[in-house]
Amino acid sequence: MTIVWGDSPLTWQELVQVARHNAELSLSVSAWQRIAQGRAIVDEIVASGQIAYGINTGLGALCNITLPEDQLSQLSRNTLLSHACGVGPLLTREQARAILCAAIANYSHGKSGVSVALVQHLLALLNQQITPQVPSQGSVGYLSHMAHIGLALIGVGDVEYQNQIMPAAQALTLAGLQPYRPGAKEGLSLVNGTPCMTGLSCLALDDAARLLDWADVTGAMSFEALRGQRVAFDAEVIALKASPGMQLSGQRLRALLSDSPLLATSVGIRTQDALSLRSMPQVHGASRDQFDHAARQIETELNACTDNPLVLGTADNWRVVSQANPHGESVAMAADLLAIAMAEIGSIAERRLDRLVNPLVSGLPAFLVAQPGVNSGMMIAQYVAASLCAENRQLAQPAVLDNYVTSGLQEDHLSLGTGAALKLLKLVGNVWQILAIEYLLAAQALDFHGEEQLAQGTAQALRRLRAVVANWQEDRWLAPEIARAVEVLKSGL
């Protein structure tokens, strides 16, 4: 599969297809023309000797130092080397590829002033599966991560290639590529912009979208097992709140549960259910609404020019503008908001699964085993979900509210957007585990009722899980079964 960028707005789903599912990426003819035009401006500035920040000056607090033409390539190389100082665990392969994709999207506008050759080399890394090894920590929003990707271009550092970790220079040789020699401004462009936070946030959107759909399914299974009162999902009632997300979740829950014999015979057994059951349309729907907002913000950034300086006009009539498009405040806020929304999806799921294991409210055997006492059953699985929710509460604290001063007072307000995106990815990873635990427990609870009593939608979800995880008769090793449930969730609805 090949995806072509450059003639229409990019979507986060397209980035995910390349970064996560290895689709090939190419640029349109018009994108290459824009890149060449932007580079022509840089070449004209260098040839004419006119002063322009980032092209023939030092960087950041060193912006008042003017450099001769013969030092500009060395400046670009030095920029990569000096800025590649990230620390901590390495990004995953798909995370590094997502950042690379977002950088190429930025350059495709032709406003960064990089050369066609540079973008061709970046596409070669991507499409030939040469993945730079990038430390995950060290970004205040921009910088650090992209510098490590830039190192791979010049043959420095390590990469993953052909399922091995090897020196970048060796991988380039094996792939038939030459180390790239960056020209004027290219080092700065390679470390600038918001591709770190934007690319990572696109991956988080992919996880969150799938989790939102699964939360309706696992929630419906728990609701049915606990013999909930479907009237709470009544279409007329749900329509009284004009929340698009709430309408969708309400519709999905009604569809999943409408033909349940068990719920039909359970009408009136209680006046109302606990909020973790009857408020699913409201809570899931609110999280869906926040997802939609975050997706718009992140996609806006994916389609933006986020370099500093930006190169505008033509070689005959140009401007080089120093501004703050790399700041990334909107993505940082979006990632923080989505983290809160997804933490709530995990939190309400944990409350539902807690009710499943509690015989005082479930009407089912304690901890969902026929012989509790000698068997602990699903007791500790609920502990794990509670622990993950507690961690998510920490991860949902906004990163964007932090601030530090960098670059000799030049950069004195920072978005911390890359940190926001990384903690969001960790948080949604926890939500996969929480929903997998609810899936296991709800399936076990539904087995006590019998499949003939279930709605078609929940019965289908039960059968999918039972294809890889058997019913729980007595205690056995549960951790691998949680992992298998996660894999069922990730394989799609």
pLDDT in tens, 157-214: 999 999 999 999 999 999 999 999 999 999 999 998 899 999 999 999 999 999 999 9
Strands 24-27 vs 2-5: parallel, antiparallel or unpaired: parallel
Q: What is the pLDDT of residue 435?
A: 98
Placement of tokens 């004209």 in the chain: 44
Q: How confident is the model over 316-343, as a mean pLDDT?
A: 95
Q: What band does 406 get if pLDDT is binned at 50, 70 and 90?
A: confident
Q: How confident is the model over 340-353, as a mean pLDDT?
A: 98
Q: What band does 484 get if pLDDT is binned at 50, 70 and 90?
A: very high
Q: What is the pLDDT of residue 53?
A: 83
Q: Active site includes 404?
A: no
Contacts of 21-27 spanning 24+ positions with Cβ under 8 A? 22/129, 24/127, 25/101, 25/104, 25/123, 25/126, 25/127, 26/2, 26/123, 27/104, 27/108, 27/119, 27/123
pLDDT > 80? residue 141: no
Distance, in Å, from the CA atom of 313 to the CA atom of 72, rounded to the nearest integer, reads 22
Q: Please state which of the ranges 92-96, 233-237, 401-405 shows the lowest mean pLDDT.
A: 401-405
The CATH superfamily of 200-490 is Fumarase/aspartase (Central domain) (1.20.200.10)
CATH of the domain spanning 2-192: 1.10.275.10
Q: What band does 56 get if pLDDT is binned at 50, 70 and 90?
A: confident
Task: Count CB neighbours of 262 within 10 A.
Answer: 19
Distance, in Å, from the CA atom of 273 to the CA atom of 224, rounded to the nearest integer, reads 12
Contact 155, 184 (CB under 8 A): no
Q: How confident is the model over 106-116, as a mean pLDDT?
A: 97
Q: What is the pLDDT of residue 477?
A: 92
Q: Where in the chain is the domain with CATH 1.10.275.10?
A: 2-192
Q: What is the pLDDT of residue 345?
A: 98
pLDDT > 70? residue 61: no
Q: Where in the chain is the domain with CATH 1.20.200.10?
A: 200-490
Q: What is the pLDDT of residue 27?
A: 98
Higher pLDDT, 408 or 431: 431
pLDDT in tens, 358-392: 999 999 998 888 887 788 888 999 999 999 999 99
pLDDT in tens, 5-31: 999 999 999 999 999 999 999 999 999
Q: How confident is the model over 129-152, as a mean pLDDT?
A: 91
Amino acid present at 303: N
Q: What band does 256 get if pLDDT is binned at 50, 70 and 90?
A: very high
pLDDT > 90? residue 291: yes
Distance, in Å, from the CA atom of 320 to the CA atom of 312, rounded to the nearest integer, reads 6
Q: What is the pLDDT of residue 129?
A: 98
Distance, in Å, from the CA atom of 139 to the CA atom of 314, rounded to the nearest integer, reads 33
Q: What is the pLDDT of residue 405?
A: 73
Amino acid present at 331: V
Catalytic residue among 53, 107, 142, 180: 53
pLDDT in tens, 225-250: 999 999 999 999 999 999 999 999 99
Torsion, Cα 38 44 45 50, to 10 degrees, reads -150
Q: At what angle do helices 456-466 and 479-490 cross, to 10 degrees?
A: 130
Q: What is the pLDDT of residue 203?
A: 98
Q: What is the pLDDT of residue 60?
A: 67
